[in-house]
Amino acid sequence: MYYYVIALSVVCFFCPTSAKDRRILMSDPAYVAQELNHLQSELQQLQAKVSTQQQTIDSQQSTITTLTSQGGQGVIYTRWGRKDCPEGNGNQLVYTGFAGGSWYSASGAAATTLCMPSDPIWGPHKNATLTYPSYLYGAEYDDTTIFGMADLNEDVPCAVCKNTAHSIINMIPGRTTCYPGWTEAYEGLLTSGYPKNAGASEFLCMDGHPQAVLGGGSRNDNGLLFYAVLAQCGSLPCPPYEDNKVLSCVVCMI
């Protein structure tokens, strides 16, 4: 009897548990309790993970709500030729400043026009000596008639505006009104640099009621120069366009 028990124990020790053996074990209350405890432990771990993920979602949603309530959505645009932003429609003034860019005849001129703030803060390299410097100048209206200026040398202001009621902004050349569904920010004249000047330029929408920088018309400083733009028939079809006519523009939001 002693040797029979030993042999049975050895055989069962090296044999894997079969489905039949598992069904037998399921009748054992201790085994069932062990399995239930294991399942309960796994369930608790899953519930803890779900709770953590829900807390993360709630936190992100709270952040989104806060940013939205504080105006964390909207669009930024520059109103060229004005010191202020259009009234109403969710427009807010970010800062006012001066239009600036490269010298009008510089062959290496930057094409981008900047709105330089009226309250600059200088960095640590303010007084550094540069071997190969670039330069930034103010801007002037180089036409007295079309811009309604009293002096050819009047300097150009600008205003950076934020609109919290819209999320997309676009400048439409050749129109004075927006397409249906869009809201006008401002309308005006399409401008660029003079074609015979060597400096690079870009097409910008100058406000239809431009202002001048106070005291800016006392002398001709040149710098970045603004000119109105005429339509030229050929590759540009006429009609609908007309040859040598001044092009308008409008800035629209949706």
Token digits of residue 72: 């964390």
Token digits of residue 124: 């640590």
Q: What is the number of other CB atoms lying within 10 angstroms of the CB of residue 47?
A: 10
pLDDT tens profile 154-163: 999 999 999 9
pLDDT tens profile 50-94: 888 888 787 777 656 555 554 457 999 999 999 999 998 889 999
Q: What is the number of other CB atoms lying within 10 angstroms of the CB of residue 142?
A: 23
pLDDT tens profile 1-22: 444 443 444 444 444 555 555 5
The H or E element that residue 32 is part of is helix 29-69
pLDDT tens profile 83-120: 999 998 889 999 999 999 999 999 999 999 999 999 99
Q: Tally the C-alpha atoms within 13 A of residue 188's C-alpha that lie toward its C-beta.
A: 27
Q: Which pLDDT value is given to residue 31?
A: 75
Instruction: Read off the amino acid at residue 158.
Output: C
Q: State the average pLDDT over residues 171-190.
A: 97
Gap between the Cα atoms of 60 and 54, Å rounded: 10
